[in-house]
Amino acid sequence: MSHDIRRSSMSEPSTIVLKACPEAVKQAREFIAMVFGAWGLDDEIARTIVSELTTNAIRHGSEGDDLVIVRAYLLDGRPVVETWDRSASMPVTRVPGLDSESGRGLLLVEALARRWGCRPLTDGGKVVFAELEARTK
């Protein structure tokens, strides 16, 4: 599922650069909680989504000492969460087997986000984004 995000009315992005390691997932969640708190928005869904997107960026889009970038901004009043990684491979949703221990992340993102998608970066890599409904605390 891919959508084009037009930046018509966008707030200044808040960005964190993380080493692509398991600890980055927790750091990304904490970052999103801080940003959404500053906006006065509920962060529960956003923390779940950024956790899944960051996990995918680390697992499928990084190797060695790579970095993962997490950004959050408001687009026409709606929060958007992004992860950037170095892999050009675009994510694909799949239906995991009942015994599978992974493979449900993008299905969860699809269920929770207003819309989600990805786009390639001109210097290589990709951005995966999820647009959410703005929910106040």
Tell me the per-residue pLDDT of 78-135, one tens digit each, with 9 for 90 and over.
999 999 999 888 777 777 666 656 556 788 899 999 999 999 999 999 999 999 999 9
Would residue 9 count as lying in a domain? no
**pLDDT of amino acid 7:** 41
Q: What is the CATH number of the domain that holds 90?
A: 3.30.565.10
Q: How many domains does the chain have?
A: 1
Question: What DSSP element (H or E) covers 59?
Answer: helix 44-61
Contacts for 27-31: CB closer than 8 Å, 24+ residues apart: 28/54, 28/68, 28/70, 28/83, 31/70, 31/72
pLDDT digits (tens, 9 = 90+) for 33-77: 999 999 999 999 999 999 999 999 998 877 778 999 999 999 999
Q: Is 45 helix (H, G, I), strand (E, B) or coil?
A: helix
Would residue 6 count as lying in a domain? no
pTM of the model: 0.85
**pLDDT of amino acid 99:** 63
**pLDDT of amino acid 3:** 36
Domain extent for 83 = 14-94+102-131
Provide the CA 2 distance to its chain's centre, in angstroms.
14
Beta strands in 7-135 (DSSP E): 14-19, 67-75, 78-85, 115-120, 126-131
Q: Measuring CA to CA, which residue among 88, 80, 73 is closest to residue 124?
A: 88
Distance CA 84, CA 62 (A): 10
Would residue 4 count as lying in a domain? no
Would residue 5 count as lying in a domain? no
